[in-house]
Structure 1
Amino acid sequence: MTETTPISLVGIAIDANSSHLFGAAAGPAAIRAALRSGSGNHSTERSVDVIEHLDDLGDIEVSNERGSVADADAITAAIDRQLSVGRQVITLGGDHSITFPILRAVGDHHPELTVVHIDAHPDIYDDLDGNPLSHASPFARALEVGCMTTLVQLGIRTATPHQREQGERWSVTMLSPRELEHFDPSSLRGPIYLSVDLDGFDPSVAPGVSHHEPGGLTVREVLDVIDALPGPLVGADIVELNPSRDLVDMTAMVGAKLVKEIAGAMLDRR
């Protein structure tokens, strides 16, 4: 990968694997609109213009059907094509079910992968409501097939006894917002994949999600996590924006900010 290799930006308009509410399929379009908004500019906090390094490939074609193996396979194949030509990939969701098929591709290219996951929920159910491809299960599926060597989850504040058992089964590190000070990024090894569920933020700064969970992370705390991650950062996703729940595009703008800062971190740590 050269300094001039673009970062692939792709969308996945899926919400059929959601629970409680639908609407996350509109997330990719809302984040793209926020990226183009005249209310901001194209630079990161380190004054790097990253938009010129993003190659927006549009949305992956999917049927958006609940539990669709074909959709999951299409996602894996599309991400694999980008990785095979040396691209880093930022993916816009969509619900969190997209992360399992993404990780199948990333894990094949990076067998010593570390995943850092920001979320209110561990998303490690064996299945939810009889759907093993639920947005509540991507990390259970990914761990089952060995997509990663390490999973660190930050912001978790809703883990059920079942999810705690699942975490212990796979030696997952789960840290709540009040435990964030115990996160040691210098201990991470290998290439890193970052998955950000926008409900990991406190609803006061990211209201546009389907599952409000008070007591979450601040935008600054998450940006500090991104800044602290060692490289290389080989891929990332930003998921669970539900524009129908957003207020004055607040959450979409948080998503766009994440795209810029993640892209900046990718470029900085090649």
Structure 2
Amino acid sequence: MFALCRTRSLISRASADFFSLRAGQSLSVCRKSSGKRFNEPPSAEFVARVSGIPTMAKLPFQETADGLDAAFIGVPIDTGTSNRPGARFGPRQIRVESAMLRLYNSGTRAAPYESIMVADIGDVNVNVFDLKDTCKRIREAYRKVVATGCIPLTMGGDHTIAYPILQAVAEKYGPVGLIHVDAHADTSDTVLGEKIGHGTPFRRCVEEGLLDCKRVVQIGLRGTGYAPDSYEWSRAQGFRVVQAEECWYKSLAPLMAEVRAQMGSGPVYLSFDIDALDPGFAPGTGTPEIAGLTPIQGVEIVRGCRGLNLVGCDLVEVSPPYDTTGNTALTGANLLYEMLCALPKVKYY
């Protein structure tokens, strides 16, 4: 794998060093800050974005979460999808589009690569023929990740994956708060007689005691439903439901101040379905609903999670076959970067 090994003192020589490498010479990505070395993507000032193997943000790949504070992980399934398929290719396309990401967050001045050790640890080896077996594989894989203390940043895959991930997360941390950004509540009991699918994960999570229901908020819900109040069940559990209509024409920064107060200091999981955004901005998804959030509001939500005790995040339901420009995957990649910046211990200038 080609990546650029450098410290601040090497930046001026980086271009020459890269192009003078002998064939087969190994390169590793590293940074020295306050005496500690962290992984860092190579700068496009010196290494072309189109070169190399597409890991998330062009970070180094490693096989396990050992030694990492955070890890990008792909879960390439769409076996739980009820409408348009294709989300199994989401992690791959998000990685491709993530080559645009740079080191620093110009909006917030976050410097994640000076703060925490992060890498891409590849994909869960899913079973595309058996959804229940896939859930078992996801759960087992995430148990190993969270056991190390690493925070998983997941690229979906359809929203089914949130259920086995939260099984593993709650096993370590106990019931967690949930910030769920989505066009759909995903709290159905069954769909076509099946209890496992992308429309049911949070019903299963409640049944198994994985969520601290007084610390659950669902943002962006909208669309037609099967009952006059599609979100009655959510409210009955104690969830705060923020429908899309409540978000129109406004900044969501005030909402997120309220959400932070609701979440408190306990562990929190962030689950972001790309269909929360209006399909005019993010058409590459399986179950689009009009009149959704804007990308600006999506960024406000993620940035509003700064200061919370985030123990995991996901970005799901990117479907590249319906994403003809790549903008949906690009948006997903940027939201995942914002999630990285919002994690505990990240330095801000």
Instruction: In structure 1, list runs of 5 or more residues that go unmatched.
Output: none
Alpha-carbon distance between aligned partners in 2 of 1:50 and 1:167, rounded to the nearest angstrom:
35
Residue matched to 1:170 = 237
The C-alpha deviation readout for 1:201-234, integer Å capped at 9, x for no partner, is 0111111112221110111112111222241111
Alpha-carbon distance between aligned partners in 1 of 2:296 and 2:205, rounded to the nearest angstrom:
29
Greater gyration radius: 2
Q: Is the 8 A contact 2:163 2:201 kept in 1?
A: yes
- Specify the code of the residue in structure 1 equivalent to 2:108: R
Sequence identity of aligned pairs in percent?
30
- Select the residue among 237, 253, 265 that pairs with 2:314: 237
Q: Relative to structure 2, which stretch is displaced further, 153-162 or 17-26?
A: 153-162
Q: Relative to structure 2, which stretch is displaced further, 118-127 or 163-172?
A: 163-172
User: Shift in Å at residue 24 of structure 1?
Assistant: 0.4
Question: Judging changes above 3 Å, is the alpha-carbon distance between structure 1 residues 3 and 194 closer, same or farther for their aligned structure 2 residues?
Answer: farther
- Specify the code of the residue in structure 1 equivalent to 2:340: A
Q: Is the 8 A contact 1:94 1:241 kept in 2?
A: yes
Question: Judging changes above 3 Å, is the alpha-carbon distance between structure 1 residues 59 and 51 closer, same or farther for their aligned structure 2 residues?
Answer: farther
Residue matched to 2:122 = 58
User: Shift in Å at residue 41 of structure 1?
Assistant: 2.3
Q: Is the 8 A contact 2:309 2:344 kept in 1?
A: no
Question: Judging changes above 3 Å, is the alpha-carbon distance between structure 1 residues 51 and 130 closer, same or farther for their aligned structure 2 residues?
Answer: farther
Q: Please state if 1:155 is matched with 2:230.
A: no
Compute the RMSD of aligned alpha carbons: 2.2
Residue matched to 1:254 = 331
Question: SS in structure 2 opposite 1:238?
Answer: strand
Residue matched to 1:193 = 269
Q: Please state if 1:225 is matched with 2:287.
A: no
Q: Is the 8 A contact 2:191 2:197 kept in 1?
A: yes
Q: Please state if 1:80 is matched with 2:143.
A: yes
Alpha-carbon distance between aligned partners in 2 of 1:11 and 1:206, rounded to the nearest angstrom:
20
Alpha-carbon distance between aligned partners in 1 of 2:309 and 2:37, rounded to the nearest angstrom:
13
Alpha-carbon distance between aligned partners in 2 of 1:154 and 1:76, rounded to the nearest angstrom:
26
Q: Relative to structure 2, which stretch is displaced further, 164-173 or 103-112?
A: 164-173
Residue matched to 1:207 = 283
Alpha-carbon distance between aligned partners in 1 of 2:205 and 2:219, rounded to the nearest angstrom:
17
TM-score, normalised to structure 2, is 0.71
Q: Relative to structure 2, which stretch is displaced further, 242-251 or 183-192?
A: 183-192
Q: Is the 8 A contact 1:125 1:163 kept in 2?
A: no
Q: Is the 8 A contact 1:232 1:269 kept in 2?
A: no
- Specify the code of the residue in structure 2 equivalent to 1:168: R
- Specify the code of the residue in structure 2 equivalent to 1:188: M
Q: Is the 8 A contact 1:15 1:94 kept in 2?
A: yes
Q: Is the 8 A contact 2:186 2:202 kept in 1?
A: yes
Q: Relative to structure 2, which stretch is displaced further, 177-186 or 149-158?
A: 177-186
Query: Aligned ranges for residues 6-85 of structure 1 at < 5 Å?
Result: 6-37=69-100, 40-44=101-105, 45-50=107-112, 53-66=117-130, 68-85=131-148
Structure number with higher relative contact order (C-alpha < 8 Å, ≥ 6 residues apart) = 1
TM-score, normalised to structure 1, is 0.91
Give the paired residue count. Answer: 266
User: Shift in Å at residue 74 of structure 1?
Assistant: 1.1
Q: Is the 8 A contact 1:50 1:260 kept in 2?
A: no
The C-alpha deviation readout for 1:115-146, integer Å capped at 9, x for no partner, is 00000000100011122111000000111101
Alpha-carbon distance between aligned partners in 2 of 1:49 and 1:171, rounded to the nearest angstrom:
36
User: Shift in Å at residue 50 of structure 1?
Assistant: 3.8
Question: Judging changes above 3 Å, is the alpha-carbon distance between structure 1 residues 131 and 65 closer, same or farther for their aligned structure 2 residues?
Answer: farther
Question: Judging changes above 3 Å, is the alpha-carbon distance between structure 1 residues 269 and 54 closer, same or farther for their aligned structure 2 residues?
Answer: closer
User: Shift in Å at residue 175 of structure 1?
Assistant: 0.9
Question: Judging changes above 3 Å, is the alpha-carbon distance between structure 1 residues 51 and 160 closer, same or farther for their aligned structure 2 residues?
Answer: farther
Question: Judging changes above 3 Å, is the alpha-carbon distance between structure 1 residues 84 and 23 closer, same or farther for their aligned structure 2 residues?
Answer: same
User: Shift in Å at residue 165 of structure 1?
Assistant: 3.5
Q: Is the 8 A contact 1:231 1:269 kept in 2?
A: no
Moved >6 Å (runs of 4+) = none
Question: Judging changes above 3 Å, is the alpha-carbon distance between structure 1 residues 152 and 160 closer, same or farther for their aligned structure 2 residues?
Answer: farther
Q: Is the 8 A contact 2:111 2:346 kept in 1?
A: no
